[in-house]
Amino acid sequence: MPPLASARTFTPGPLRGALDVPGDKSISHRALILGAFADALIEIRNLNPGRDVRATLEALIALGASVEGNGSTVRVRGGRLREPMGAIDCMNSGSTARMLLGVCAGADVRARFDGDASLRRRPMEPVAAQLRAFGAKIETTDGTLPLLIDGTPQIETRRFILITPSAQIKSALLLAGLFARVPVTILGDKRSRDHTERLLRYLGAEIAWDGMRVELLAGPTRRDPIDVAGDFSAAGFFITAATIAPGSACEIRGVGVNPTRTGLLDALLQMGADIELRNAREVAGEPVADIVVRHAPLRGVTLGPDVALRAIDEIPLLAVAAAFAAGETKITGVRELRSKESDRVAAIERLMAAVGIEVEAAPNGLTIRGGTPRGEGASVDTHDDHRIAMATAVLAAGAGPLAIDSDASIDVSFPAFLDTLRSVQHA
């Protein structure tokens, strides 16, 4: 059942103390899926508790995987997958839809995919087109959900060139090869997030990648437990809030710092942020560190598409930081934001307007003219987008009171966000 919606007002104040964030959402999806490939139990710890990951877990059960446990620790066993009794409900999760399409293509499973109203607006044809080249039979609804995959009668292409440098599409192709037990090669990547590759290698798969080319030759051979690193995207809200709110000094513990995800860190450091990584280590193939952040004055910068690709989920936070920076900040490579849970370019424009900051939007870029943002109790329409709801809280930490129309969407990725913010924010 969806959570009850509630309007909410966020207040200003510095962030002080230490906190933990939930397990990484992207890694959690992949850990569950690779668990469903194995014919023996794999334990997954620190699983992300959000609704998106729940969508993947329930979809895998519908496809025939066994899941034991509930909450942050589960044990998954796969085997031969089967046609589900009804449609797979991907809820609001594009990751669930796109990656499980790859699973069904490789496992030669017939399944119908659907999702909520927001997910039904998001493009599925790019991943469907590449899986059709693999041999899958896929019918979309004008390029979107609902869709029907009727298995893969005969495997055709095993060598792909990515039409779009998307980690979800790349992962769908890797999973198609994995579940079909055939080698695949993928060209044309542009250093998109590599969680699938790292997790496959951690589990003993024969795989190589260099940021442009991926080659999967053989599947996993180990069933080692998977500890999911702390979610960098979740940490990003606190990193940004501590940077812009005067008097802040905050530590976020156990955060994944995979370089394909840390564009926000690189951008904030370029802008003058005071951020330090401590206690670097590796967890289940992923680099992890504790992140210490203190308030610092910022300056406007120009950020190219390479940064945007590694910070695509954090662009609203970069816009928040830019609102407090001296001068202009230009961000290019943001076209993908138009087709997220909401049109996030339009959402950024609304967010900045709420605090009196000027934004100029281009087809593939944003220019934010920094200044002195002032909240003064303005209300922001989130369009049920979890990242916009939480970004509003971040903006309020430095700009003053801001309200949102609904906090229900926060459960998609970070159900404990409000309590965590309350524990470290001081009036």
* Cβ neighbours of 427 (radius 10 Å): 6
Both structure tokens of 274: 């005071």
Query: How many angstroms separate the CA atoms of 210 and 178, rounded?
Result: 19
Buried b (16+ CB within 10 A) or exposed e, 215-240: bbeebbeebeebbbbbbbbbbbbbbb
| Predicted structure pTM score | 0.94
* Cβ neighbours of 403 (radius 10 Å): 16
Count CA atoms closer than 13 A to 92's CA, side-chain side.
19
- What is residue 4's predicted lDDT score, i.e. its pLDDT? 57
* Cβ neighbours of 18 (radius 10 Å): 12
Show the low-confidence residues of the chain (pLDDT under 70).
1-5, 339-341, 427
Selection from 396, 391, 346 nearest residue 373 by Cα? 396
Domain extents in the chain? 8-23+229-424, 25-220
Tell me the residue type at 256. G
Give yes or no for a contact between 10 and 407, defined as CB atoms under 8 angstroms apart. no
* Fold match flag (8-23+229-424 vs 25-220): yes
Please write down the HEC assignment for all residues of the chain: CCCCCCCEEECCCCEEEEEECCECHHHHHHHHHHHHHCCCCEEEECCCCCHHHHHHHHHHHHCCCEEECCCCCEEEECCCCCCCCCCEECCCCHHHHHHHHHHHHHHCCEEEEECCCCHHHCCCHHHHHHHHHHCCCEEEECCEEEEEEECCCCCCCCEEECCCCCHHHHHHHHHHHHHHCCCEEEECCCCCCCHHHHHHHHCCCEEEECCCEEEEEECCCCCCCEECCECHHHHHHHHHHHHHCCCCEEEEEEEECCCCCCHHHHHHHHCCCEEEEEEEEEECCEEEEEEEEECCCCECCEECHHHHHHCHHHHHHHHHHHHHCECEEEEECCHHHHHCCCCHHHHHHHHHHCCCCEEEEECCEEEEECCCCCCCCEEECCCCCHHHHHHHHHHHHHHCCEEECCCHHHHHCCCCHHHHHHHHECC
Query: How many angstroms separate the CA atoms of 192 and 261, rounded?
Result: 8
Fold of 25-220: UDP-n-acetylglucosamine1-carboxyvinyl-transferase; Chain (3.65.10)
- What is residue 119's predicted lDDT score, i.e. its pLDDT? 94
Q: Any catalytic annotation for residue 313?
A: yes
Residue whose pair of structure tokens reads 């606190």 in the numeric block: 238
Fold of 8-23+229-424: UDP-n-acetylglucosamine1-carboxyvinyl-transferase; Chain (3.65.10)
Rg from Cα positions in the chain: 21
What distance, in Å, lies between the first and last C-alpha atoms of the chain?
34
**Sheet containing 378-380: order of strands:** 8-10, 402-404, 378-380
Query: How many angstroms separate the CA atoms of 91 and 114, rounded?
Result: 8
- What is residue 71's predicted lDDT score, i.e. its pLDDT? 87
Catalytic pick from 313, 384, 385, 407? Answer: 313
